[in-house]
Structure 1
Amino acid sequence: MRLGTTSVSLLALMVHTTLYADNTHSQSDIPPERIVVTGSRVAESMDEVPASITIITQQDIQAQMLVNPEMQSILANLVPGLAADTGSSSNSGQTLRGRNPLVMIDGVPQSTPLRNGALDVRTIDPSAIERIEVIKGATSIYGNGAAGGIINFITKKASAGSALSGEASLSSRFSAVKTAESAGVRAAGLVQGQINQFNYLVSASYEENGVQRDAEGDILGLQYGLSDAVTENVFVKVGYDFDQDKSLTVSFNQYSSQQKTDLGDVVNDINSGEKTYAIHVPVELQKQGKPQGPDGNTNFSLKYVDYALFDNTQLNIDVYQQTIENVFFYSPRLANPDLGLDGGQSIIRSEKSGLRTTFNSRFEFDGFSTTLIYGIDALEDTSSQPLVDGRMWVPEMAMKSLAGFVQSKWLFGEDLVLKAGVRQENIDLEVDDYETLKLCSSPTQCSTAVKVKGDTLDYRATTYNLGLKYNWHAYFSPFISISQGADISDLGLLLRAATVTDIADIQTEAAIIDNYELGFSSQFSTTRFELALFRSTSELGTSNKFNAQTGIYEPVRAPQEIWGGEALLSHKFTPALSMTASYSYVEGKQTDTDTYLGARQISAPKATLALKWQATDALTLNLDSIYVGDRKRFAPNSAGKYVADQAPVDSYFVTNLSGSYQFAANWQGYFAVHNLFNLDYYPAKSQSYAYGSYNVKGVGSTVNLGVKTRF
């Protein structure tokens, strides 16, 4: 199918919109003039980037890890526009400005956009990350799957000057409400060094959780739960500098996190008014199937850089390969009594290999300068969703993508920055003949198996962007931008729910997302304020509708509009005491029916407040809070029940306390209390998802104690 025609070939969209970076975060370890911004794929000053970006530094990551090492929690607390923490291992519903972002490690895609399993933020341990770059709003700079933007984990690299150095930490996390069975252990270590032209870094972590308890001391429900989860991560990076301009870096990452428990759920749903919680049960009532969670996900990448290919041109070549196997929970909704199956368990499998070639050329003229960033991206992605028992839920989808792009940046004097770019995407996706599954949510509610004729789907899309930033004064630096993204995300969801016999009759068209944004930043001595307003539209969004006859949630393709805004305020009271506050609001509708979108896309309003106090040279204290507001857009059905992702959200306010003490030159102790006041609440996802067993409460007061040493 054709999405657009153009005489321009092999050109590409770079990212859109204007800089939205939290400059209150310490950038001491990253010189601002050399920040590598994901949206530009080259190093450039943030003042020259008309893109909506949040930078999370290593210092920010380490502070958040004291409270909760889960990446979805770290991102929720630090990224305006990202939905609140889900309170589970899944980031389903944790959208960025109402759409799903593409998650990457050093530019290598971790998401499975052809069949989105919402486990993509749990692919690397935070201890291996140097910083996180978040680009907000639709962009196709890295291809399919970035409808909401990009979250790129930039990994650590070896420090120069020593053949061997490193660090190690050991900690334990346990419930302050009821300690029984709740104590876990976490160990992490890193060694690095430089020997002549070689440099290396090895990072490893191991974490074994105890049970997680809510404010009443009960064990949290196991649906995407973290109780008894075992998480392991190994990251290796080796580099060689041929000379001061040329270098080669090889990286390897392996991550797994699986729940291995002897517990069982006492299942309820949000309509019952009772929580889902876990208890010790006989073997026959325990969680069936394989342990749920990422199972040995691996990445391999090779990066070559030549900063002086020509006098004015830099070359970057990235080659990568990645495999993913995400195991999901055993579900009775995957039953088929005709086959003697009372349920099933699915696995999302994905294999990717890719090549990115990027050139960066700079030209100087009288009164202005221009930079051209151009190149070619190639990607192969083979994804499927089989069941553990051998049935195939989503057939194998083999995608080949070839895209070209050019992005121009124009600097007029020291104040005005103009960016314009275009990307041409060429995608071929092959699906063989397949048969949908007969699934029974009850003995009388079954879907009908359909034999579907496969085909090769072709997608051609040309997307554009235009952004303008005016660094007029520190008091007022405005921006405006328009950008597009092309998205064929979650095609597997459409294929597995097919009711026609030919794939050509399934509504598999890609969505072209138009994104508009404007805002400004203001700096007054020790106070900074930022504001951004956005709107995005798409003629073919994807939502879900419940089929009462089959008991299955089916996808619906319809036009959507999403809008909202973000504000950030930071202030330094004294050199030792600082504050950062943010507020995010997003809303969206299916425009053809004028109905609000559910919680899978649209999150409740979110506000954050963080205070940092350097009490003494050795003692640092942090107090941070997150507020989630009401969102009540839907009425119950005729039976008086809420369905799907349309249950109401009531507000809540959670506060965390953490601190560290440097008690010797190379030794540091630290502590944290998650949910300091032991608030008894349901996270927003638990409130809004009316599906059975999702109504799990938030974690009660939980203490973390640890020690860290450097050598």
Structure 2
Amino acid sequence: MNRKKIIYLLVLIPFFGFAQEKINEVEKVTELDDIIITASRKKESIKEVTSSVTIVGEKKIQNQSLVNSNIASILQYTVPGLATSSNQTSNYGQTLRGRPFLVMIDGIPQSTPLRNGGRDLQVIDPASIERIEVIKGATSIYGNGADGGIINYITKKNRKEKIIMGSVASSFTAQPASFDQTLGFRTSISLNGKHNRFDYVLGLTHEQTGLLKDANSVNISPTYSLANMNTYNGLIKIGYEISENQRIEASYIGYASKSFLNQDVKIGKWGVTPTIGIAAADRLGTPEGTPRNHNLRLSYSNSSIWNGTSLNVNAYSQDFRTVFYYDKIQFLNGGQSNVTSKKIGLRANFDSRLFSKENYKADLIYGIDLLQDATVQKLEDGRFWTPQMNMQNTAPFALVKFDAWNKFTLKAGARYENIKVEVDDFNTLPVLNTKTNTYTPSIFVEGGNLEYNALVWNVGVRYNVLPALNVFSSYSQSFSINEIGRILRSATTSVVSKLPTDPIIVNNYEVGLAGSPKRWFNYEVTSFWSTSKLGASSVQNTDGSYAMQRAPEYIWGYEAIINFKPLDYLSFGGAFAWIEGKVDNDNDDSYEKYINGSRIMAPKVTGNVQIQPLKNWDVELSVLHNFERDRFSSDPATNKYSFNEGPVQKYTIFNFSSSYVINKHIKTSFGVENLFNKDYSPNIAWWMARDQDYVKSPGRRVSLQLQYSF
């Protein structure tokens, strides 16, 4: 039976299997209004935003979670300019428009810029998320780390007047060809309500995955594996309305993941034989994953602190720890590294109305961000791979927003960054030189204080000429300290101040068109480019060591999004993203070499079809097509590619999901990932161009969920 017949059958079978009688009371999960808060640090319509944004609503998150609850996977299908997922615990290489991004939860930074562990996407369960706001392109509005943009997880809020309501959902996942080994379970409980001036949201999720196998039922490599992963997530949010204008809210979000996978690695051959997992009696090291990510937040808002001015203050803390895989070779006598980061911060945001007339108004958004971040990377046995690093970040900012005729928006703002980093004395750790097959000698490095200052700007304009034609354009800068921890751990100089730790300033330009020519049709087309005098990409030196390449960079690309809803029960659409970048190693404005795969994604197309054959039944089919990217040549002598420069191969993946509301309390859902059991490798397996990283992606995986709401 061919693919088309299978799709038709999946869509048509329920017509014959369910009664046609409509249910009067049907659970509805509706998208929120197109109001965002991340782009300008205030609530505004998407039609007032002067750059390209993507809002992933709650219904889309739920549908994608039926297929795969991994947020990195959800985002690869919903955010055009985001690189594809590696299907691993790490999101290394999953850049946004070719650059690193800043991840936040309700405005609390999750990324660890002093030593990026590549775990910042997977720090919360999707069951706790109301929507995801993605601001694409470098931006200074939130500061350090937002070179490629911002991904802000907005957690759930209570929106009802009832004292208590909620839901319980249980599901299992498995790969049909190896059901008993791949069986996993997931349970989620949520409660919310309001009593007098108090409101609350409570949530708890636990998921345990089984083994993960490729399309040929072979174990996927255990390195950074999501197999046999226990994940826990808790959300507590309590709010109190002090008065009509004032509100205070406290929240806690806790996340933990641990993999108890007793497998060893069997190294394959790049492009020929995949690296796989083989049974091991007792794998060395401690469980991998993120054993803790604690976020505490206390916020106060006043919509009229004085005439025409509102205030929002957020005090927060984060305690984050992630553990990588045990490496028998890289470290002398073996070892397993971890990254620990502890943050405390304060964000104070004022919003003042400068003037308001019949057709004109202007606002001034201003405030200050304060952050202390203590980060270190060590081995589980206590050896330091990086020294202890303590950062203090002070950043006042201001943004003027002018609106006219309900059609025209102009924004201009600035942010002043002052960052101080205190680095302890340390000894570098001996690591393997892959060229000489010897371990680098340990050297003593004298610590010290590093300080960075910068004033970054942004300006943007949007003119909604007609419903069918909205024009927007923006220029914005971002400021980020380079990943100091990675530079320090491979230091060859005995004094910290002499190391190449210069920050990264990105200039981002964007021009776009958007609109809704018809009520059932909308589109967006965007062109963007960014420059930086000193970029940073991971490369391999001629002696086999790994380093950060510091050189001028130029990145450019295009995105296109189109959606149709010709009938109440039918909608479909898609998105395309193409990104390219070059680096000027000689600093002569020639930009002679392409940026490697750890930064630049292969072009991709995503699409989806949503059908509602009955009022209480939804069906969705989604697709992702990944194109080739082949920009580098292999070494003629060895026929091998340099690290991160392997050619990426194309593949196409289909996913399917369906939900049926039995009554106002009970809903059943069904999802299939990799519907046609495609045998393929993720992009990271190709561009890393190393035998140990040439892995396969999971084969067909199904999930079945039952949800009870009250």
TM-score using structure 1 length: 0.93
Match of 1:301 in 2: 297
Instruction: Identify the match of residue 539 of structure 1 among 533, 536, 549.
Output: 533
Instruction: Identify the match of residue 624 of structure 2 among 602, 623, 626.
Output: 626
Match of 1:611 in 2: 609
Match of 1:451 in 2: 444
Are 2:699 and 1:700 equivalent residues in the alignment? yes
The C-alpha deviation readout for 1:479-504, integer Å capped at 9, x for no partner, is 11111011114111111111111112
Pairwise CA distance, 1:28? 4.3
Pairwise CA distance, 1:27? 9.8
Match of 2:36 in 1: 36
CA gap of 1:27–1:40, structure 2 versus 1, over 3 A, is farther
**2:497 partner SS:** helix
Matches within 5 A, 1:55-454: 55-270=55-270, 273-283=272-282, 286=283, 288-336=284-332, 341=333, 343-362=334-353, 363-365=355-357, 367-441=359-433, 444-454=437-447
Pairwise CA distance, 1:547? 3.2
Matches of 1:177 and 1:524, distance apart in 2: 47
Matches of 2:443 and 2:540, distance apart in 1: 19
Are 2:505 and 1:512 equivalent residues in the alignment? yes
Q: In the alignment, residue 170 of structure 1 is paired with which amino acid? A: S
Root-mean-square deviation over aligned CA pairs: 1.4
Pairwise CA distance, 1:333? 4.0
Matches of 2:281 and 2:341, distance apart in 1: 35
Contact 1:177 1:702 in 2 (8 A): no
Q: In the alignment, residue 522 of structure 1 is paired with which amino acid? A: G
Pairwise CA distance, 1:539? 0.9
Contact 1:270 1:689 in 2 (8 A): no
Match of 1:6 in 2: none
Pairwise CA distance, 1:693? 2.3
The C-alpha deviation readout for 1:357-397, integer Å capped at 9, x for no partner, is 00001121464210100001100001110111221111111
Q: In the alignment, residue 359 of structure 1 is paired with which amino acid? A: F
CA gap of 1:27–1:423, structure 2 versus 1, over 3 A, is farther
Q: In the alignment, residue 279 of structure 2 is paired with which amino acid? A: H
The C-alpha deviation readout for 1:279-332, integer Å capped at 9, x for no partner, is 22333xx3x211111011100001100011122111000000001101001113
Contact 1:226 1:259 in 2 (8 A): yes
Matches of 2:597 and 2:187, distance apart in 1: 36
Matches of 1:264 and 1:199, distance apart in 2: 49
Matches of 1:98 and 1:700, distance apart in 2: 28
Pairwise CA distance, 1:575? 1.2
Contact 1:89 1:226 in 2 (8 A): yes
The C-alpha deviation readout for 1:480-532, integer Å capped at 9, x for no partner, is 11110111141111111111111121111111100000010131212212100
Q: In the alignment, residue 394 of structure 2 is paired with which amino acid? A: L
Matches of 2:618 and 2:31, distance apart in 1: 18
Aligned residues: 674
Greater shift, 632-641 or 619-628, is seen at 632-641
Are 2:564 and 1:571 equivalent residues in the alignment? yes
| Greater relative contact order (CA < 8 Å, ≥ 6 in sequence) | 1
Pairwise CA distance, 1:687? 1.7
Q: In the alignment, residue 306 of structure 1 is paired with which amino acid? A: N
The C-alpha deviation readout for 1:647-678, integer Å capped at 9, x for no partner, is 11110000011101111221001101111111
**Where do 5+ consecutive residues of structure 1 fail to align?**
1-25
Matches of 1:31 and 1:98, distance apart in 2: 30
Pairwise CA distance, 1:451? 1.6
Match of 1:655 in 2: 654
Matches within 5 A, 1:459-498: 459-498=452-491
**2:430 partner SS:** coil
**2:550 partner SS:** strand
Matches of 1:428 and 1:365, distance apart in 2: 44
Q: In the alignment, residue 418 of structure 1 is paired with which amino acid? A: L
Contact 1:470 1:479 in 2 (8 A): yes
Instruction: Identify the match of residue 591 of structure 1 among 580, 584, 587.
Output: 584
**2:536 partner SS:** strand
Pairwise CA distance, 1:177? 2.4
Pairwise CA distance, 1:542? 1.1
Q: In the alignment, residue 298 of structure 1 is paired with which amino acid? A: H
Are 2:629 and 1:636 equivalent residues in the alignment? no
Q: In the alignment, residue 611 of structure 1 is paired with which amino acid? A: V
The C-alpha deviation readout for 1:428-459, integer Å capped at 9, x for no partner, is 11112222112125684222322222211111
CA gap of 1:29–1:613, structure 2 versus 1, over 3 A, is closer
TM-score using structure 2 length: 0.93
Matches of 1:706 and 1:523, distance apart in 2: 36
Structure 1: which 4+ aligned runs deviate by more than 3 Å?
A: 26-29, 441-444
Q: In the alignment, residue 409 of structure 1 is paired with which amino acid? A: K
Matches of 1:592 and 1:439, distance apart in 2: 26
The C-alpha deviation readout for 1:618-669, integer Å capped at 9, x for no partner, is 2110000001000011111231112311111110000011101111221001
**Where do 5+ consecutive residues of structure 2 fail to align?**
1-27, 587-591
